[in-house]
């Protein structure tokens, strides 16, 4: 896996990232740090990537179990350390899984497997942050 990051000096403290798969992501800093608030902060993209990584796992696990999953949303709240490096110290993930006749035990298992075994982003962030998960099921 690879990624190339370029500073965009004309935009203050904005950066573009080109991923190895050929996609672009733009990130920017807060105005008090020289940014113009034109794109997500780099740490916001870390959090978003973690949410997408774990949601991917949950959907895949449920689909492989032949469950009729129709939607998966993850709401993440994170706290950061007050001093540099301002790592994440606490992350709360709440999954809202939509589907038809989804067994609570299957959703609970999928969330647990993602958190404890499959999601590499969660595993990395779990080295510095206390992570908790919760979920709810919405009938489709």
Q: Quickly state the pLDDT bin for 35 (edges 50, 70, 90).
A: very high
* DSSP 8-state assignment for residue 107: H
Q: What is the mean pLDDT of the chain?
A: 97
Residues 9 and 26 in one domain: yes
Residues 83 and 25 in one domain: no
The dihedral of CA 49, 53, 58, 63: what is its sign?
Answer: positive
Per the structure, how many domains does the chain have? Answer: 2
Residues 27 and 84 in one domain: no
Residue-number span of the structural domain to which 46 is assigned: 42-139
| pTM of the predicted model as reported, rounded to 2 decimal places | 0.93
pLDDT for the residue 32: 95
Residues 6+ apart with CB under 8 A from 89: 79, 80, 81, 128, 129, 130
Residues 49 and 12 in one domain: no
pLDDT in tens, 71-84: 999 999 999 999 99
Residues 27 and 56 in one domain: no
Please check whether residue 11 is in contact with residue 26, taking contact to mean a CB–CB distance below 8 angstroms.
no
DSSP 33-64: GT--S-S--HHHHHHHHHHHHHHHHHHHHHHH
Residues 59 and 28 in one domain: no
pLDDT for the residue 45: 97
Residues 12 and 52 in one domain: no
Instruction: Tell me the three state secondary structure of residue 126.
Output: coil
How many residues in total does the chain contain?
140
Distance CA(36)–CA(34), nearest Å, equals 7
Closest residue by Cα to residue 93 from 67, 57, 41, 54: 54
């Amino acid at each position: 896996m690879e990624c190339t990051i370029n500073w965009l000096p004309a935009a203050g403290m904005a950066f573009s990232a080109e991923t190895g798969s050929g996609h672009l992501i733009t990130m920017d800093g807060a105005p008090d740090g020289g940014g113009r608030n034109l794109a997500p902060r780099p740490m916001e993209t870390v959090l978003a990537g973690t949410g997408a990584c774990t949601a991917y796992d949950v959907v895949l696990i449920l689909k492989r179990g032949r469950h009729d999953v129709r939607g998966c949303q993850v709401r993440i709240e994170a706290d950061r350390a007050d001093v540099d490096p301002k790592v994440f110290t606490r992350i709360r993930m709440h999954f809202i899984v939509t589907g038809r006749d989804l067994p609570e035990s299957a959703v609970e298992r999928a969330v647990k497997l993602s958190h404890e075994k499959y999601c590499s982003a969660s595993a990395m962030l779990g080295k510095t942050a206390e992570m908790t998960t919760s979920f709810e099921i919405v009938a489709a």
